Structure 1
Amino acid sequence: MKRVIIAGMGPGSKSCITEEVKAAIDNAEIIIGSKRLIEEYPDKKTFYAVTADNIVSIIEQEEAQEYVVLMSGDTGFYSGTRKLADALEGKYEYRILPGISSVIYFAARIGKPWENAAFVSVHGKKQSYIPVVLQNEMTYFLTQGNVSQICKQLQSVGLSKAHVWIGENLSYENEKISSGEVSEFTEYESAGLTVMAVYNDYSHTFTITGIPDSYFIRSDVPMTKREIRASVISRMAVRKNSCVYDIGAGTGSVSVELALHAPYGTVYAVERTEEGCSLIARNAEKFGLNNIEIIHGNAADVIDNLPVPDEVFIGGSGGESEYIFDSILRKNPNVHVVATAVTLETLQDMISLMEKNNMSVLDIVQIAVTQIKKTGRYHMMSANNPVFIIEGRRMQ
């Protein structure tokens, strides 16, 4: 049987590969990998391929018995190893050999620990990184040379004084490491192979549940207020990779908090007004979120075209509640639904729909928020309308 070794090549230089990887390469009949990696071995028979399908195709067509597939960095850190291993499973014998990640190499070069750090890859992939930086003291980035773009966005959310380190061409002779404040690198032109670290000394001050209302860009479009929003978010308990609907998204305050809790998922903010959609987009940009998809239209007209939801928040249904329930339950019979109501009629409609669709009503609460406002030397109470929160799902 053909044997395949998937080898982590470290940050790039041959000097950084392990002895085990070096021995595997020496014994290989065929080497497969990216052009940058295979060009280091001109005396070997090499093939350029980076996708799992292309790599497996080469192995199928060649008669050699010993193959080494070169993976940049470490095989377990933002690597194509997992997909390749899945493609090889059951077809060929394979082993995975680790390498030194460029991030770990970089952490050593700048003398900063990484055991409690957060990691972000914006190298050819989509990820909301502002929330990660806001919530963590140290964040390491794998970039595609877009350091200036990242620093501009960090500066836009008030992190211009945060300290950054930038590592270019790590492990090579032209290695370069720079450091300074975020504001110093908003126009910086970096190499394509770039790792970046951000130190945010104020990470402990950021919260992602119950964000103050004043933080959002607003107009006359209705917004779910802080106290109600915090209760809704806690009940929804979205996972990091959840697919979530926010129906009747308004200004997007709930969408923003949901997206912060699901950085690897997607929030579909359904809003019928153009003004509301504009506000959602502006608030998403303000919080550095690219995992909010804005859907302009009536829920009944657009909901069938959305992917299968894990959780759904209904903040405003426009009289389309029955169709919304029919649609989401067809897609996911065990969907988790949280809804708000400000009238007894809407409350009754929501309860009836959940019961009609065999959903257990897990929780119904009424929240009445009263704010204290100072008028002259007196402190007056200003009551907001009571809000009902209804939570339900089908019990498995």
Structure 2
Amino acid sequence: MITDRGTVEGCVHVIGIGRAGWSSLAIAEQNCLQQATVVVGSDRQLHSLRHLAGDLLPITHLHATLTEAKARWEQGDRLVILASGDPLCFGLGRLLLAYFPAAVLVFHPHVSSIQLAFSRLKLPWQDAAIASVHGREPDELIRLLRRGVEKIAVLTDGVHHPGAIATLYQALDLPQIYRIWVCENLGGADERVFELDLAIAPSLTADHFAPLNVVVLVRQEEARSLPPLPIIGIPDQHFLTFRDRPGLMTKGEIRLAILGALALMPAQVVWDIGAGTGSVAVEIGRLCPTSQVFAIEKTAMGVNLIEQNAQRFQVQNLQAVSGAAPEALNPLPRPDRVFIGGSGGNLAAILSHCQNVLNPGGCLVLAMATLESIHTALEWLRSHDWPYDLAQWNVARSLPIAQSHRLAPLNPVTIITAQPPTPKS
């Protein structure tokens, strides 16, 4: 078999082509096309290749066209298949590897639409993530947004068009802010790049955009400005969170359940152990301004976020405590309420410490996300005769999908509420 990339004899050459058609190709790719007896591509791609001597086979029904192309190749025709940009980057290449032996395929990548989009925005993109919603659900895009990935390129379709993507982003209520850019007809004379106005995004349809477009979301560093806030139930997106893990916080619905389980009263001492960003402690501090709230967190970044969030929400009665429990608990005043959101693997020791210092009439609430932590907590409570209640919270939030909505589940959380045993008379 001839393997010279400049020939087509025996091989199936897959050539990425730009919006400019024939003139966008290098000499080697033009030579391949001139030698081909069959060229497969879309009507748009074939339009500038009508001068070629070979048969031009437009893609009507994809699988039927590729089946015909394979049959022509098996009969000895010299076959070239055209693709947009880089065939192996969310392109036709993966499908062709199922039709043809990999050994006979020769790929000629062109500059992809994603490369062009970032070049137009003048952004380095080696650290960008790519999500395709072309003919598929936006689950990967949602995952990237919740992770707070700095730069995301999205390959769209007529259902998940730029306006729908912007509406989805707004519905996620993320703590981080993104600017959204639409890059249309890249490489063509009618190329257009513009920032999407989020205020009008919900009213936009696919007809407002060119069919060939790429969306780029770029995370911004500034925090959201605070609107008037409710007394209880601060929206998640207003908390400052971990830059690399923005979703790592107690979600609003779970915070409300925790606050209810704690049965808070005025002028209490409340511990929040494993406080993370301090979202639960902030809610407690705002709800009970006469109480003392201590947010214990072992990571320096977490302590910094707790302090920033306390300042952001003007909570004066919240103190961040740096250190790992139970050792970090020793200097603190005896608590009336204890919430444990994280234990760092020291759950049994933390529970034993709380048992020794919890004020009479106090209670303890745990939020558990793993089976192992639930098992540890229940084993300790049973062995120490603590009465407890257990409730598992399975929360799903609505997300817009095209013209409809679906429910996207959050991770289930088990909330355990416990009290010390009544002393025997």
Are 1:171 and 2:164 counterparts?
no
Change in CA separation of 1:132 and 1:48 when aligned onto 2, cut-off 3 Å: same
Aligned equivalents of 1:82, 1:51: Cα separation in 2? 13
Task: Give the equivalent residue in structure 1 for 2:168.
Answer: 153
Q: Which residue of 1 aligns with 2:98?
A: 86
Instruction: Show the counterpart of 1:5.
Output: 13
Alignment partner of 1:183: what SS?
Answer: coil
Query: Amino acid of the residue matched to residue 190 of structure 1?
Result: F
Q: Does 1:212 align with 2:354?
A: no
Give the corresponding residue for 1:266. none
Q: Which amino acid aligns with 1:133?
A: L
2:155 corresponds in structure 1 to: 142
CA contact (8 A) 2:177 2:220 kept: no
d(CA) in 2 for partners of 1:283, 1:122: 18
Q: Which position in structure 2 is the counterpart of 1:43?
A: 51
- 1:58-115 CA-partner distances (Å, limit 9, x unpaired): 331465531110111201210121221232117x833111111101011111111111
SS at match of 1:155: helix
> Structure 1 250/27 Cα, relative in aligned 2: closer, same or farther at 3 Å?
farther
**2:210 equivalent to 1:195:** no
Going from structure 1 to structure 2, the CA distance change for 1:83 and 1:56 (only over 3 Å counts) comes to same
CA distance in 1, matches of 2:124, 2:419: 48
Contact 1:73 1:99 in 2 (8 A): yes
Q: Tell me how far apart the structure 1 counterparts of residues 119 and 93 of structure 2 sit (CA, whole Å).
A: 24
Query: 2:71: which partner in 1?
Result: 60
Taking a change above 3 Å as real, the CA distance of residues 213 and 187 of structure 1, as seen in their structure-2 partners, is: closer
Question: How is 1:1-396 mapped onto 2 (pairs within 5 angstroms)?
Answer: 2-10=10-18, 13-44=21-52, 45-49=55-59, 51=62, 54-61=65-72, 63=75, 65-89=77-101, 93-128=104-139, 129-134=141-146, 135-145=148-158, 146-158=161-173, 162-188=178-204, 189-201=208-220, 204-205=242-243, 207=245, 211-215=249-253, 229-231=368-370, 251-253=393-395, 280=396, 282=397, 383=418
Distance 2:183 2:249 in 1: 34
Q: 1: distance between equivalents of 2:49 and 2:31? A: 13
Contact 1:140 / 1:198 at 8 angstroms: preserved in 2?
yes
Q: Per-residue deviation at 1:117?
A: 0.9
Distance 1:163 1:213, change over 3 A: closer
Code of the residue aligned with 2:89 in structure 1: it is F
CA distance in 2, matches of 1:232, 1:12: 57
Q: Would you say the 8 A contact 2:70–2:99 is kept in 1? A: no
Query: Bigger shift: 95-104 or 211-220?
Result: 211-220
* Equivalent residue number for residue 386 of structure 2: none
In structure 1, distance between residues paired with 2:56 and 2:47: 8
Letter in 1 for 2:394: G
1:212 alignment partner AA: T
Give the deviation of 1:201 after TM superposition.
2.0
Offset of residue 183 of structure 1: 3.1
The 8 Å contact of residues 3 and 65 in structure 1, kept in 2 or not, is answered as no
Partner of 2:229: none
Distance 1:216 1:293 in 2: 13
| Contact persistence 1:5–1:69 (CA under 8 A) | yes
Would you say the 8 A contact 2:168–2:399 is kept in 1? no
Greater shift, 77-86 or 11-20, is seen at 11-20
Change (3 A) 1:103 1:4: same
Distance 1:74 1:232 in 2: 45
Structure 1 residues not aligned, in runs of 5+: 236-248, 254-279, 295-312, 316-339, 343-367, 370-381, 386-396
Structure 1 residue 41: Cα displacement:
1.6
Shift in CA distance, 40/226, structure 1 to aligned 2, threshold 3 Å? farther
What's the % identity of the aligned pairs? Answer: 19
Counterpart amino acid of 1:173? Answer: A
How far the C-alpha of 1:194 sits from its partner, in A, is 0.8
Letter in structure 2 aligned against 1:48: P
Conservation of the 8 A alpha-carbon contact between 2:184 and 2:191: yes
Structure 1 residues 137 and 67, CA, compared in 2 at 3 Å: closer, same or farther? same
Pairwise CA distance, 1:206: 6.8
Q: Secondary structure at the match of 2:126?
A: coil
1:104-146 per-residue CA deviation (whole Å, 9 max, x = no partner) reads 0111111111111111111222232133124211111111251
Change (3 A) 1:59 1:290: same
Shift of 1:234: 11
Report if aligned partners of 2:398, 2:408 keep a CA contact under 8 Å in 1.
Answer: no
Shift in CA distance, 42/229, structure 1 to aligned 2, threshold 3 Å: farther
Where 1:197 maps in the other structure, the secondary structure is strand
1:147 is displaced (CA, Å) by: 0.9
**Equivalents in 2 of 1:180, 1:65: separation in Å?**
47
CA deviations on 1:29-83 (whole Å, 9 max, x unpaired) are 1100222212222234211236356314333146553111011120121012122
- Count of residue pairs the alignment pairs up: 260
Instruction: Decide whether the 8 Å contact of 1:29 with 1:65 is kept in 2.
Output: yes
Partner of 1:174, secondary structure, is coil
Tell me, in whole angstroms, the C-alpha distance in 2 between the residues paired with 1:191 and 1:231: 46
CA distance in structure 1 between the partners assigned to 2:162 and 2:15 by the alignment: 28
Judged with a 3 Å threshold, the aligned counterparts in structure 2 of structure 1 residues 136 and 218 are, in CA distance, closer, same or farther, namely same
Tell me by how many angstroms 1:148 deviates. 0.9
Quote the Cα distance in structure 2 between the aligned partners of 1:181 and 1:113: 23
Q: CA offsets, 1:335-377, max 9 Å, x none?
A: xxxxx9x9xxxxxxxxxxxxxxxxxxxxxxxxx97xxxxxxxx
Larger CA Rg, structure 1 vs 2: 2
